[in-house]
Amino acid sequence: MRRTCKPGATEQMLVGIFVILLFYVLGEAAAWLIGGLVPGSVLGMVLLFVALCLKVVKADTIRPAARFLCDNMGLFFLPAGVGIVNALDILSRNWEAILTACAVSTVAVIITVAIIQESFEKRRAAARQQSTAPKAES
C-alpha cells in the first residue's frame, strides 16, 4: 500500500539533507564562477540563509537534518584534529607566528565585540530615555 500522507522521519531527513547539499553544490558552483574568491561552502551557507529569509525554503524542511548535524558536530572536528597532529612538524617550526596570529586575532575580536556592545547599550539607553520622557502637550 502506498503512503500519500506526510513524509515520515526518514523522508524528512533525506529531504533536508538533499536541500542542504543542493545549496552546498550551488555555493561551490558560484565559487567556481567567481574564481574561488570566497569558499563554496560559505557561499552555499549564505544562499541557504537568503532562501530561508525569503521563505523559498521552509525551516521545517531542513530542521531535522540540521539538528542531526549540529548534535553530531563534534565528529566533524576529528579530521581537523588528525590534520593538526599530522602537521606537527610544520606547526613546531612556525609556532611563534601561529601563536602571535591567535593572540592578535583574539584581542581584535574582543575589542570589536566590546565596541559594538557599547554602541548597542548606548542606543538602548537612549531609546529607553526617549520612551520614558514626559511628552509635551500641544
Are 10 and 65 within one domain? yes
Q: Which residues of 93-132 are buried (b: 16+ CB within 10 A; e: fewer)?
A: eeeeeeeeeeeeeeeeeeeeeeeeeeeeeeeeeeeeeeee
- 8 — pLDDT class (breaks 50, 70, 90): confident
> Which pLDDT value is given to residue 35?
92
Assess whether pLDDT exceeds 70 at residue 51.
yes
Assess whether pLDDT exceeds 90 at residue 4.
no
Are 65 and 31 within one domain? yes
Are 63 and 109 within one domain? no
Average pLDDT in the chain:
90
pTM over 0.95: no
